[in-house]
């Protein structure tokens, strides 16, 4: 990109996927949700792709859960109990 320039680019690591990227390209992620209180804080960073992923609707996230569980390789009963436990862990108890 700017190979001939001598600008020192600080690089940061995306907390979600672990890739490193220039700080100027990263999105700051503050787990406390307060970007304005900067004193004494260390921000975490996300690359654009992961930042975008975080904005997905829960529905998309559920598809990720299915992949995570590896839906195909378990019996249905095993899968269902595992799946509901995971969903409960992440979203709280589902009231019917």
Site residues (CB under 5 A) for Zn ion? 14, 16-17, 47, 50
Distance (Å, whole) CA 39 – CA 61 = 33
Nearer to Zn ion, 23 or 71 (CB): 23
d(CA 25, CA 31): 19
Choice between 38 and 52, CB closer to Zn ion:
52
Residue among 60 and 88 whose Cβ is closer to Zn ion: 60
**Least distance between Zn ion and beta carbon 94 (Å):** 30
CA distance 40 to 83: 40
Minimum Å gap between C-beta 74 and Zn ion is 29
Least Å from the CB of residue 49 to Zn ion: 5
């Amino acid at each position: 990109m700017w190979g001939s320039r001598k600008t020192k680019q600080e690089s940061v690591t995306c907390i979600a996927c672990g890739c490193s990227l220039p700080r100027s390209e990263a999105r700051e992620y503050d787990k406390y949700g307060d970007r304005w209180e900067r004193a004494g804080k260390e921000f975490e960073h996300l690359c654009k792709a992961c930042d975008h992923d975080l904005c997905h609707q829960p529905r998309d996230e559920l598809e990720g859960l299915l992949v995570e569980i590896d839906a195909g390789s378990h019996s249905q009963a095993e899968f269902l109990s595992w799946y509901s436990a995971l969903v409960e862990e992440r979203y709280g108890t589902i009231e019917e």
